[in-house]
């Protein structure tokens, strides 16, 4: 897995840390590389390539949970990167319980689809653009007196209404997921999942 280059809009020390981290990664010193990448993040550097490189370093150490976590963070910034999507899919396929994901809710599935295509800012802009087009169509319906124009505007408004509702739903669900469900990935070799919040509940998954 190759590292991604990035022009950090930070101090020269950030650029140096990224460069050293990439050099360590290139020579197979993955543990040392993660230390440099983590230091960058602690200093406030956040970029898709940085999280992607950190994910690759964890992947090459066999730490699939941490690899997936950082791939997901990178995906929020550069969702349409083909290498990132390939590595994320590969890491997920190598987790021990990769086949036990059938319990995902429709909301989680919908969020996953939008996250692989648009950043949150891009989704917000798309939603705003669709809403603006819908509002303009309604203005024409209200203000225009010519029947032909009024009728055409009504048709346009109806056609726009469906994607507008879908866009608002997608944006709302993403904001809800980001607020209540921050990225969490199980990194332990074994974890027990029960049917309730206390030990007396039945064991559901390990």
Strand partners for 194: 203
Class of domain 12-95: mainly alpha
For the chain, percent of residues with pLDDT exceeding 90: 59
**Which of 25, 91, 82 shows the shortest CA–CA distance to 53?**
25
Q: Which residues are CB-neighbours of 85 under 8 A, at least 6 positions away?
A: 75, 116
Mean pLDDT score of the chain, rounded to an integer?
Answer: 83
Burial pattern 179-188, b for ≥16 Cβ within 10 A else e, equals eeeeeeeeee
Q: Give the tens place of pLDDT for each residue, 81-134.
A: 999 999 999 999 988 655 444 556 777 788 888 888 999 999 999 999 999 999
Locate 46 and state its tokens: 């956040």
The pTM (predicted TM-score) of the whole model is: 0.73
**Would you place residue 189 in the very low, low, confident or very high pLDDT band (cuts 50, 70, 90)?**
low
**Which of 41, 60, 42 shows the shortest CA–CA distance to 1?**
60
Among the ranges 53-57, 175-179, 188-192, which has the highest mean pLDDT value?
53-57
């Amino acid at each position: 897995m190759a590292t991604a280059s990035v022009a950090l809009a930070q101090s020269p020390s950030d650029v140096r840390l990224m460069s050293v981290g990439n050099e360590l990664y290139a020579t197979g010193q993955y543990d040392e590389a993660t230390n440099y990448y983590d230091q960058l993040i602690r200093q406030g550097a956040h970029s898709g390539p940085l999280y992607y490189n950190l994910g690759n370093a964890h992947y090459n150490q066999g730490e699939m949970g941490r690899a997936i976590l950082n791939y997901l963070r990178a995906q929020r910034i550069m969702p349409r990167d083909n290498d990132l999507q390939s590595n994320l899919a590969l890491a997920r396929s190598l987790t021990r319980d990769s086949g036990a994901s059938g319990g995902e809710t429709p909301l989680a599935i919908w969020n996953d689809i939008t996250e692989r295509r648009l950043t949150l800012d891009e989704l917000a802009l798309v939603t705003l653009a669709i809403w603006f087009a819908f509002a303009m169509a309604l203005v024409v319906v209200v203000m225009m007196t010519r029947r032909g124009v009024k009728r055409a505007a009504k048709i346009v408004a109806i056609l726009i209404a469906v994607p507008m509702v879908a866009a608002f739903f997608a944006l709302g669900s993403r904001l809800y997921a980001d607020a209540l469900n921050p990225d969490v990935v199980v990194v332990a070799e074994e974890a027990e999942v029960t049917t309730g919040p206390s030990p007396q509940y039945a064991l559901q998954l390990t």
